[in-house]
Structure 1
């Protein structure tokens, strides 16, 4: 049985938009150091490794070029997309992924591929001088969840041109920064971390169903259904190419 490599754009159906990821469907386990070596060589934001455990249940691990991460929405969406598109699993059957963040259930719905994640609700924090120094535009509101600051700014144009102070961020007791803003076309725009942004914008807009845009050079669209402890994120994906992996390297 061959090992295949898939290049996928998640949260998009366009060639040059969405979140890019590689998906590798393994036929047998490989060592963690080899997964990291492959991800570094492929050099996309995420390489997702799939290994079947039992019927409709797969181990899923995500690697950046430099490290393994515990949770990745677009890597999960890309992996599920491949399993259904390749006919490995029939589309009417949900998929369960076993990950370092626990079990993730994925289903095919009318709007695309729906991911169910535990909500990571933020709490409001003061806008301190240090926090303001993280971004080059005025902060309207600020919050913090388990590992990130969430900063709201005035509008989408300000967000697109924003340059964060990453040197300062590296000295603070969080692992990331999320900048978000309201939008005229969408409910909100942002870069990532929708499990924290769903409760934030649900409260701000007094609605449970949200339509979001990932404001980056490539962009991406997704639907969010916030149900308190669970946040459902739905998007589409497209396969850019499929190739056979050189198994001598595994």
Structure 2
């Protein structure tokens, strides 16, 4: 079967977030997909059933090297990039629509995940040393942490053994920007699913965009926010607010296209 590696939310190879994409003729066993994802060693690998009749949405599932996840933006972007044109995917998070835009970006239509204010957990200061925590908020699967500055976001070395033991929440560290081209900066840590740090995280921006929109008083339908994920690889995500949906825009580059033989 065809398998690719795609750098998502990237303009050039070796930037953004790499994802595996495996094109299937029929649904595969979850244990096999976990094994393939572990072999690829990317933060997520997308498995798409392309042998879908007519215009039905193509079944799509995402696996980290250790677990299946309910939503993954960058691997969806990678799958849409490989398949081209306009795509609909049937996923655990509902039917997701993707399309290529005239300016060469790919737009993903994903559910918004707005976090609500929450008390900071007891372990937070130990997990993120050197970070001045100004606010915290929670969504269903994310803990959002507002840092005192973009410099703190860029510099922090998280205590991953602390984060690993917290259970089922990705930790999003974010701050106001230190350059005018973007509206916020962030980093994302998810060691509980085998991802110490995710290079660029589409699903995190489903929480970041509505949260920052409220802080910046830019909540009108169609408002656009630009996020910089400040990992070592780095990447830019353009988010468009559409009520309970978020349009995420990014570019992608195929760096490997071959045949999976197992």
Moved more, 96-105 or 127-136: 127-136
Alignment of 1:186 onto 2:186 = no
Question: Structure 1 length normalisation: TM-score?
Answer: 0.88
RMSD: 1.8
CA–CA separation in structure 2 for the residues paired with 1:240 and 1:168: 34
Deviation at 1:157, TM superposition (A): 2.0
Deviation at 1:203, TM superposition (A): 0.8
CA–CA separation in structure 2 for the residues paired with 1:202 and 1:110: 26
Q: Tell me if the contact between 1:149 and 1:174 (Cα under 8 Å) persists in the aligned partners.
A: no
Report the equivalent of 1:88. Answer: none
Deviation at 1:128, TM superposition (A): 5.9
Report the equivalent of 2:53. Answer: 54
**Which of 224, 227, 230 does residue 239 from structure 2 map onto?**
224
Report the equivalent of 1:131. Answer: 124
CA–CA separation in structure 1 for the residues paired with 2:58 and 2:29: 17
Deviation at 1:75, TM superposition (A): 0.4
CA–CA separation in structure 2 for the residues paired with 1:127 and 1:63: 29
CA–CA separation in structure 2 for the residues paired with 1:201 and 1:30: 39
5+ residue gaps, structure 2: 188-200
Alignment of 1:1-250 (within 5 A): 3-52=1-50, 53-56=52-55, 57-84=57-84, 91=85, 94-111=86-103, 112-127=105-120, 130-136=123-129, 137-172=131-166, 174-183=168-177, 184=179, 185-191=181-187, 192=201, 193-207=204-218, 208-246=223-261, 249=262
CA–CA separation in structure 1 for the residues paired with 2:121 and 2:79: 40
Question: Which protein shows a greater Rg?
Answer: 1
CA–CA separation in structure 2 for the residues paired with 1:200 and 1:74: 20
CA–CA separation in structure 1 for the residues paired with 2:145 and 2:32: 37
CA–CA separation in structure 1 for the residues paired with 2:71 and 2:89: 11
CA 30–146 in structure 1, closer or farther in 2 if over 3 Å, else same: closer
